[in-house]
C-alpha cells in the first residue's frame, strides 16, 4: 500500500508491505477467494512484535488511550479524508513454478474515477498489471499497467474510534476469532429474574441495571480471554398480567457523548427523544398472571453493552394501556433489589402515562421495582472468573409493601378472593355518564366500581349505576331494558384531594384511582356467567365524571384472566332516561374509554348475594372434553390511518361479539350446541394474513386500504358431538357472521372456508331384508366418510368431507339376489336398501364446486372400491336394540353390492306471481287490445305449424309405410344417442331395476370451458384416473 495522489496512475516501487501470507486457498471460477482475517492478524503479530513489546513497556507506566505515531503509520490504517493505493499480487508458493493465477478485473471508464462507495469508504478505478512482480523483482521493468480497470472483489473493514489503539484492536480481533456460541462470540449466556410479583401497574418504569463485574485493576492480563468481561443485554421479559396485545418500547439512557448512564439525573430524564436510545420496539402478547412476556427477538434493535462496573438506565413502557405490572418497594430508590452476582437491578420509579411530555408536568411514583427478566451474554473473561448464580426466587426478593390496597378492607363480609381490573384512568374528556360492556371469562360476581371523578364542580355527587344482561348499544334510551340498579348513592370528595388552584391542573394517578369509590354496602352484587355480555350505565349528578376518547366501540380496553372491559360511549345528560321529562334528545359521544376499576369475586366458595330481580337458574359448570378450531377470513376495508394492531383488535372483538350473540340466539344451531353439548367459545384471535392466503387481491376504494384478516376461533364442548359437526356448524355461520359483523369504520367481505352439504341416495343390493341398526348406520357413515375423503380429487384441493349421516332407509325386494348364508340352514331373502344420507364438507373458494355432483360421481365411479371398504373394515362390536333374532347382522354388508348413488336435489321453490289488478275502474280498452293481440299470435303459430308438417317430404317421412320406406331416411339420425339409450336400458335390466326405476350414470371426467362458469370437481380412485387436459380456472 502507499498514500497516493489520485491524479497519478504510474505504478512505482514505493509501496510498503502490509501482508505476505501463504495461508490463502484459491477458489474456482466465479467464487470468492477470501484472504482471511487470521492472515492479517498473524502478519501483524509477527512483524510488529518488537513494537508491541515497546508499547507494552510504556503501557505499564501509563494508560495508552489513542493511536501512537507508529500505529498511525500502519499501512492498512486509512485516516479520514485520505487515500491509500493497494497493489495486490498473487503468485504460487513455489517460486520455481509458473504462475497459474489471475486476478480478475473488468474494464473501467475513467482513470481514478469513483465506482463504488458506502457511508464510510470510496473505491476508485485503478489498473491491471501484466507480468506481476514483487517489490524486489528484477523483472519489474517488464510489467505493464492497463488503465482504467475495476477491481473485482470485496474489501472488508472495521471502524476504529479515536480512543482505540491498534494493540487493543488486534487483541479484540484475536478474541473474536475464538470459538463462539449462538452470538458468534466466546462466553456464556445467563438470565437474571426479578420475579413476577406485582402490586400495581401502569404504562412505564425507569430503573438502573449495572455490571457487578469489577473493572480490571491495571497491568496486563494472563491471556487474551481474561481481558474481555463485558456484558451484552440481548433480551427482556416483562410482566403483562392481562391477556392482551400491546405495543412496547425499551430505551437506554445516554449522555452527550453517546455513552450509557444512569436514569436518575432529573435534568433531561423525561425528554426521551433527546436523551435516550431506543433498543427495542414491537408488539407483545400478554401471557397472563405469574409468567413473563418475552419481547420478540426481531423487536430487539440493539444489544446494550455494559463494561465492568458500568451502569445503564432503562425505560420500559407500553403504549396502548396501563398493562405493565410491577410492585411497590420497601427500600429506597436506587437500591439493588435483584442480582445474580453478575448483573444488578435497582429500584426505580414508574410513570402513569405515555408518551412523557418532558415539560416537568409528568407524574412519577417511587420507589418501584421492575418485574421481569434480563437475558444477557457474559464474555469469556466473566465466565472464567465467576459463573452467574441462580436467579433469585420470590423469597429472596425484597418484601412486598404491607399497605392494604383493598378499598373495602374495613368492611365485613368481603370475599378474600376479590380481584380487580382497572382501565387506563386517563381523562382526556368527560361529562355526566359512561356506558360500557363487560364480558367475564369465568363465572364471577361484580362487587363494586371505582369511578374517576375530578370534583371540579362540587364536593358531592349522586352516583347511579344501571346494569343489564346484553350490550348497551341500542338501549341507551330504553329504561325498560335496564332491570337492575347496581348503585344509587351519594359520594363525597375525599379529604386532601388534589387542589387545582394550589397544586396545578394535573391530578396524580393514585388520587384519580381513589377519587370515587362506591362502598361495597352501597353496591348490589351482580352475578355473571362465563361468556355472557353485561352492560353498565354509570352517571354522576355533576359533569365531573372523566374518561378518554377511544378508537372503536366494542374494542377491549382492559382485560385479565377473569374479565374483559370494552370501549363504550359517554353521555352528556343527567339523569339517565330523562329525555321525556326534559323534552330533549339525549346526546352520546362514542367511542369512549371508561376510566374506572371493576371489583369482583370469582371463586365459587365465596358466593355473593344475587340481586333480587335476577331471575336466573345457574346451569352446571361445563366440563368440556373436546376442542374445535375454525377460521373465518375476511377482507376488511378501512381508513389508511388504522394500524395493524387496531385492525386485529377491532375484528377480533367484533367477531367475538357476533359469536356470543349466536350462542344466545335460540334460533341458531350454536345455541342448541350450547344447551345440549355444553359449547363455549373460549378463544377468538385475529391475525393478519397475505392476499396469497386468500387467493385474490382486494382493490379498495381510494384512499382506503384493504387488509386480509383471519379470525381463529376455538370452542370447547362435550364429546356428545364430534369436532367435525361443530366445525361444519361454525363455518355454516360464515355468511351470518359477515352480515352481523358491524364494526365501525370497516366494510368486510368474507373470503374464507365455507360449509357445503348435499343429500344423496346410495343404493345397496344383496343386503338382508331389514334396515340397518344404529351401530350399522354409524359404521356405514364412517366408511362412506373415509372413502370420500381418501378419493377426493378436485380443481379445488381444499375440499374436505366432514361428516356423513344416515337420514333414512327404504327396503325393497331383490328377487335376483337370494342366497343361503354360510352355516345357516334357511334361505335368506336379500333386498335392496336405498339409504338417504346427508354429506357435509368444507372447502375454500375459488373456484366454486357442485358438491352434490362431486359426491354422486365419486361413488358411481368407484363402486367396487366402496364395496371393498364396506366388507373389509372391522364391524362394530354391538348394535342398538335386540337383534338376537337376526344372526346375519355379523355379515350385513358381506354380500352387498353398491348399485350407485344419486344426488337428491331439493325441489325449486314455487314461483309466486303478483296478484292481478281487479280494480273495476281499470282501463277496459287496454284489456281488449291485449286480447286481440293474443288471438292474432295464436293464429299465426297454428298457420306456421301446419305449413311445416304438410311439406311433401316431411309428410312422407311422418306417414310413410313401414314395408316400403322402412330404410328410407329423410334426414340423418343421431345413431350414438340411440345406441346409448339401448345400453342404458340393458344396464337397467342387469342391475335389477324395473322399467320405472332410475339408473345411475357414471360420468366421464370433463374439463369445463369458460362457458360453464364453474370449476368441476370429482372424487376418484387414483389408480383409475383418466388422462386430463388443463382444468379451467
Closest by alpha carbon to 203, among 233, 254, 240? 240
SS3 call for 56: helix
DSSP H stretches of helix in 821-880: 851-861, 863-872
- Check residue 907 and give its pLDDT: 66
Crossing angle of helices 669-677 and 723-731, in 10° steps, is 150
Report the alpha-carbon distance of residue 825 to residue 420 in Å, rounded: 78
> Quick one: cell of 653?
372483538
> Are 704 and 638 a contacting pair, CB within 8 Å?
yes
- Check residue 249 and give its pLDDT: 96
- Check residue 181 and give its pLDDT: 56
3 state SS for 121-133 = CEEECEEEEECCC
Give the largest Cα separation in the chain, rounded. 136
Crossing angle of helices 166-176 and 49-59, in 10° steps, is 110
> Are 523 and 597 a contacting pair, CB within 8 Å?
no
- Contact residues for 534 (Cβ-Cβ < 8 A; gap 6+): 437, 438, 439, 440, 446, 467, 468, 469, 470, 526, 528
- Residue 69 vs residues 64, 168, 666: alpha-carbon distances, Å: 12, 15, 90
Side by side, which strands form the sheet with 626-638?
A: 680-689, 705-717, 626-638, 747-750
Is residue 346 packed enough to be buried (19+ CB in 10 Å), middle (13-18) or exposed (0-12)?
A: buried
- Contact residues for 747 (Cβ-Cβ < 8 A; gap 6+): 636, 637, 638
Report the alpha-carbon distance of residue 105 to residue 90 in Å, rounded: 13
Report the alpha-carbon distance of residue 824 to residue 818 in Å, rounded: 13
Torsion, CA 488, CA 489, CA 492, CA 498, rounded to 10: -30
Closest by alpha carbon to 277, among 242, 294, 302, 298? 302
SS3 call for 397: coil
Cα 198–chain centre separation:
28
Residue 137 DSSP class: -
User: What one-character-per-residue DSSP string does 578-622 give?
Assistant: -HHHHTS---EEEEEEE-EEEEEE--TTS--PPPTT----PPPPP
Report the alpha-carbon distance of residue 1021 to residue 1003 in Å, rounded: 14
Side-chain half-sphere CA neighbours of 865 within 13 A = 17
Host H or E run for residue 734: helix 734-740
Residue 896 dihedral angles phi and psi, to the nearest 5°: -70, 145
> Are 314 and 250 a contacting pair, CB within 8 Å?
yes
> Are 120 and 157 a contacting pair, CB within 8 Å?
yes
Report the alpha-carbon distance of residue 305 to residue 300 in Å, rounded: 14
Report the alpha-carbon distance of residue 757 to residue 724 in Å, rounded: 13
Crossing angle of helices 774-790 and 851-861, in 10° steps, is 100
pLDDT under 50: residue ranges of the chain: 5-11, 60-63, 219-222, 387, 389-416, 604-624, 817-827, 876-890, 911-923, 952-981, 983-984, 987-988, 991-1033
Host H or E run for residue 929: helix 924-949
> Are 213 and 342 a contacting pair, CB within 8 Å?
yes
Number of H helices, E strands in the chain: 21, 49
> Quick one: cell of 266?
432529573
- Check residue 428 and give its pLDDT: 74
SS3 call for 369: strand
Question: Could you tell me how many residues make up the chain?
Answer: 1033
Is residue 957 packed enough to be buried (19+ CB in 10 Å), middle (13-18) or exposed (0-12)?
A: middle
Grid coordinates 408536568 are at which residue? Answer: 361
Beta-carbon count within 10 A of 867 CB: 17
Report the alpha-carbon distance of residue 655 to residue 577 in Å, rounded: 30
Cα 111–chain centre separation:
56
User: What one-character-per-residue DSSP string does 623-661 give?
Assistant: ---EEEEEEEEEEEEE-TT--HHHHHHHHHHHHHHHHHH
Closest by alpha carbon to 322, among 365, 269, 291, 258? 365
> Quick one: cell of 177?
476469532
Residues forming a β-bridge with 128: 146
- Contact residues for 527 (Cβ-Cβ < 8 A; gap 6+): 443, 444, 445, 608, 610, 611, 614, 616, 618
Residue 460 dihedral angles phi and psi, to the nearest 5°: -145, 155
3 state SS for 735-792 = HHHHHHCCCCCCEEEECCCEEEEEEEEEEEEEEECCCCCHHHHHHHHHHHHHHHHHCE
Residue 877 dihedral angles phi and psi, to the nearest 5°: -75, -25
SS3 call for 139: coil
String of b and e for 831-854 (b: at least 16 CB within 10 Å)? bbbebebbbbbbbbeebebbbbbb
Side-chain half-sphere CA neighbours of 839 within 13 A = 32
User: What one-character-per-residue DSSP string does 171-190 give?
Assistant: HHHHHHTS---TTSSSEEEE
Is residue 943 packed enough to be buried (19+ CB in 10 Å), middle (13-18) or exposed (0-12)?
A: exposed
> Are 251 and 276 a contacting pair, CB within 8 Å?
yes
Closest by alpha carbon to 240, among 319, 304, 298? 319
Amino acid at each position: 500500500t502507499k498514500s497516493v495522489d489520485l491524479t497519478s496512475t504510474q505504478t512505482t516501487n514505493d509501496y510498503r508491505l502490509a501482508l505476505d501470507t501463504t495461508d490463502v486457498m484459491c477458489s474456482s471460477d466465479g467464487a470468492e477467494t477470501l484472504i482471511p482475517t487470521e492472515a492479517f492478524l498473524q502478519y501483524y503479530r509477527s512483524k510488529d512484535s518488537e513494537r508491541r513489546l515497546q508499547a507494552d513497556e510504556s503501557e505499564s507506566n501509563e494508560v495508552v488511550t489513542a493511536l501512537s505515531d507508529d500505529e498511525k503509520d500502519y499501512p492498512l490504517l486509512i485516516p479520514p479524508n485520505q487515500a491509500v493505493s493497494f497493489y495486490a499480487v498473487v503468485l504460487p508458493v513455489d517460486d520455481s513454478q509458473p504462475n497459474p493465477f489471475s486476478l480478475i478485473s473488468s474494464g473501467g471508464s475513467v482513470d481514478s474515477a469513483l465506482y463504488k462507495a458506502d457511508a464510510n469508504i470510496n473505491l476508485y478505478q485503478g489498473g491491471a498489471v501484466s507480468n506481476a512482480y514483487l517489490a524486489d523483482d528484477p523483472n519489474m521493468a517488464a510489467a505493464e499497467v492497463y488503465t482504467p480497470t475495476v477491481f473485482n472483489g470485496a474489501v472488508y473493514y472495521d471502524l476504529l474510534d479515536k480512543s482505540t489503539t491498534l494493540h487493543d484492536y488486534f487483541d479484540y480481533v484475536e478474541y473474536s476469532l475464538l470459538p463462539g456460541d449462538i452470538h458468534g462470540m466466546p462466553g456464556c449466556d445467563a438470565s437474571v429474574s426479578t420475579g413476577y410479583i406485582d402490586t400495581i401497574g401502569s404504562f412505564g418504569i425507569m430503573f438502573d441495571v449495572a455490571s457487578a463485574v469489577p473493572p480490571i485493576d491495571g497491568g496486563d492480563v494472563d491471556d487474551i480471554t481474561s481481558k474481555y468481561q463485558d456484558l451484552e443485554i440481548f433480551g427482556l421479559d416483562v410482566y403483562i398480567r392481562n391477556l392482551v396485545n400491546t405495543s412496547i418500547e425499551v430505551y437506554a439512557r445516554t449522555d452527550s457523548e453517546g455513552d450509557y448512564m444512569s436514569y436518575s439525573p432529573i435534568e433531561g430524564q423525561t425528554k426521551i427523544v433527546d436523551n435516550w436510545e431506543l433498543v427495542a420496539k414491537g408488539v407483545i402478547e400478554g401471557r397472563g398472571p405469574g409468567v413473563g412476556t418475552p419481547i420478540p427477538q426481531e423487536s430487539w434493535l440493539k444489544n446494550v453493552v455494559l463494561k465492568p462496573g458500568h451502569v445503564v438506565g432503562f425505560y420500559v413502557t407500553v403504549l396502548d394501556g396501563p398493562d405493565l405490572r410491577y410492585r411497590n418497594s420497601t427500600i429506597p430508590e436506587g437500591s439493588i433489589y435483584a442480582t445474580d452476582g453478575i448483573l444488578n437491578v435497582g429500584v426505580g420509579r414508574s410513570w402513569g402515562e405515555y408518551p412523557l411530555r418532558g415539560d416537568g408536568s409528568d407524574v412519577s411514583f417511587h420507589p418501584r421495582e421492575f418485574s421481569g427478566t434480563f437475558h444477557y451474554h457474559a464474555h469469556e473473561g466473566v465466565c472464567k472468573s465467576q459463573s452467574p448464580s441462580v436467579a433469585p426466587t420470590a423469597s429472596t426478593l425484597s418484601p412486598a409493601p404491607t399497605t392494604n390496597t383493598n378499598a373495602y378492607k374495613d368492611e365485613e363480609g368481603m370475599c378474600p378472593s376479590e380481584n380487580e381490573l382497572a382501565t387506563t384512568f386517563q381523562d382526556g374528556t368527560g361529562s355526566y355518564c359512561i356506558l360500557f360492556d363487560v364480558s367475564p371469562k369465568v363465572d364471577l360476581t361484580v362487587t363494586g366500581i371505582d369511578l374517576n371523578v375530578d370534583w371540579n364542580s362540587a364536593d358531592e355527587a349522586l352516583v347511579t349505576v344501571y346494569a343489564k344482561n346484553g350490550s348497551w348499544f341500542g338501549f341507551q334510551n330504553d329504561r325498560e331494558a335496564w332491570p337492575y340498579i347496581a348503585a344509587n348513592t351519594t359520594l363525597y370528595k375525599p379529604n386532601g384531594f388534589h387542589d387545582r388552584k394550589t397544586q396545578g391542573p394535573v391530578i396524580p394517578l393514585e388520587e384519580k384511582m381513589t377519587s370515587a369509590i362506591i362502598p361495597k354496602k352501597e353496591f348490589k352484587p351482580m352475578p355473571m356467567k362465563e361468556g355472557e355480555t353485561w352492560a353498565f350505565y354509570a352517571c354522576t349528578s355533576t359533569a365531573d365524571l372523566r374518561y378518554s376518547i377511544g378508537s372503536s366501540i366494542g374494542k377491549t380496553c382492559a382485560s385479565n384472566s377473569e374479565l374483559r372491559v370494552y370501549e363504550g360511549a359517554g353521555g352528556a345528560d343527567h339523569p339517565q332516561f330523562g329525555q321525556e321529562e326534559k323534552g330533549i334528545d339525549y346526546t352520546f359521544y362514542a367511542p369512549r374509554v371508561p376510566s374506572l376499576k371493576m371489583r369482583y369475586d370469582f371463586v365459587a366458595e365465596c358466593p355473593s348475594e344475587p340481586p333480587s330481580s335476577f331471575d336466573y337458574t345457574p346451569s352446571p359448570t361445563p366440563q368440556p372434553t373436546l376442542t374445535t378450531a375454525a377460521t373465518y377470513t375476511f377482507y376488511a376495508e378501512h381508513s389508511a390511518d388504522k394500524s395493524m394492531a387496531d385492525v386485529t383488535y377491532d375484528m377480533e372483538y367484533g367477531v367475538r361479539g357476533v359469536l356470543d350473540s349466536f350462542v344466545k340466539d335460540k334460533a341458531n344451531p350454536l345455541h342448541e350446541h350450547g344447551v345440549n353439548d355444553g359449547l363455549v367459545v373460549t378463544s377468538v384471535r385475529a391475525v393478519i394474513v397475505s392476499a396469497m392466503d386468500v387467493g385474490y387481491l382486494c382493490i379498495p376504494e381510494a384512499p382506503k386500504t384493504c387488509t386480509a384478516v383471519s379470525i381463529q376461533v376455538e370452542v370447547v364442548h362435550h364429546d356428545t358431538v364430534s369436532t367435525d359437526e361443530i366445525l361444519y356448524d361454525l363455518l355454516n355461520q360464515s355468511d351470518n357472521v359477515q352480515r352481523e359483523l358491524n364494526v365501525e369504520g370497516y366494510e368486510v367481505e368474507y373470503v374464507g372456508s365455507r360449509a357445503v352439504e348435499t343429500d344423496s341416495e346410495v343404493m345397496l343390493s344383496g343386503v338382508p331384508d331389514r334396515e340397518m341398526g344404529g351401530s350399522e348406520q354409524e359404521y356405514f357413515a364412517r366408511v362412506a366418510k373415509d372413502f370420500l375423503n381418501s378419493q377426493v380429487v378436485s380443481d379445488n384441493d381444499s375440499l374436505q368431507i366432514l361428516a356423513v349421516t344416515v337420514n333414512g332407509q327404504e327396503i325393497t325386494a331383490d328377487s335376483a339376489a337370494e342366497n343361503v348364508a354360510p352355516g345357516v340352514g334357511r334361505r335368506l331373502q336379500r333386498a335392496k336398501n336405498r339409504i338417504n344420507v346427508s354429506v357435509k364438507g368444507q372447502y375454500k373458494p375459488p373456484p366454486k364446486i357442485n358438491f352434490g355432483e362431486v359426491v354422486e360421481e365419486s361413488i358411481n365411479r368407484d363402486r367396487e372400491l366402496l364395496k371393498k371398504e364396506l366388507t373389509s373394515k372391522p364391524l362394530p362390536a354391538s348394535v342398538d336394540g335386540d337383534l338376537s333374532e337376526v344372526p346375519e347382522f355379523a355379515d350385513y354388508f358381506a354380500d352387498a353390492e353398491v348399485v350407485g348413488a344419486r344426488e337428491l336435489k331439493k325441489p325449486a321453490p314455487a314461483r309466486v306471481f303478483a296478484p292481478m289488478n281487479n280494480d273495476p275502474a281499470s282501463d277496459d280498452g287496454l284489456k281488449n287490445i291485449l286480447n286481440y293481440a293474443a288471438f292474432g299470435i295464436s293464429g299465426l303459430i297454428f298457420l306456421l305449424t301446419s305449413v311445416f308438417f304438410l311439406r311433401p317430404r316431411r309428410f312422407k317421412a311422418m306417414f310413410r309405410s313401414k314395408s316400403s320406406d322402412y330404410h328410407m331416411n329423410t334426414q340423418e339420425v343421431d345413431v350414438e344417442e340411440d345406441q346409448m339409450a339401448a345400453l342404458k336400458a340393458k344396464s337397467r335390466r342387469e342391475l335389477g331395476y324395473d322399467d320405472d326405476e332410475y339408473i345411475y350414470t357414471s360420468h366421464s371426467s370433463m374439463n369445463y370451458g369458460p362457458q360453464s362458469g364453474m370449476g368441476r370437481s370429482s372424487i376418484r380412485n387414483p389408480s383409475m384416473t383418466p388422462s386430463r387436459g388443463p382444468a379451467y380456472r
